[in-house]
Amino acid sequence: MFKGFKDFLMRGNVVDLAVAVIIGGAFGKVVTALTTDFLTPLIGIFGGTPDFKGVVFTLNGSKFLAGDFVDAVIAFIMVAATIYFFIVAPMNALAARRKRGEVPPDPTTKKCPECLSEIPLAARRCAFCTSTVS
């Protein structure tokens, strides 16, 4: 029983997932710090205090903390924008730059003229509609 558990833990994907979770948590702290310490004060420069915690309303004796929700939405949008503009977009540009000199691989399939299914280049008859392919 313990051997199976040990084999499960030592599989590559479990270790990779553990490393990804740890690095993801640390990266999340960095992005949150960038958002909280640099981007939120920028909103304060242009629009006053970027804190909506004081916005509440009462309906039939129930207190709704609308400001907390607005703060959470703004924080989410800022974190998502930070990740996109500082991580995703530069990584996509780097990947595109690396692929610039590569030649695309030769095609291995073609479309059947009758049913438009993907068939091997050397096929003389379609496996899907059985029509003859020239």
Write the single-letter amino acid at 70: V
pLDDT in tens, 1-24: 788 887 777 776 777 788 888 888
* Residues sharing a CB contact under 8 Å with residue 126, sequence separation 6 or more, in sequence order: 112, 114, 115, 117, 119, 133
From 13-17, 60-64, 93-97, 119-123, the region with the lowest mean pLDDT? 13-17
The gap from C-alpha 44 to its chain's centroid, in whole angstroms, comes to: 29
Give the global pTM: 0.51
Q: Note the residue count of the chain.
A: 134
pLDDT in tens, 24-57: 888 888 877 877 777 777 777 876 766 677 778 8
Of the candidates 3, 74, 87, 11, the one whose C-alpha atom is nearest the C-alpha of residue 42 is: 74
Q: Taking a C-beta distance cutoff of 8 angstroms, is the pair 53, 67 a contact?
A: yes
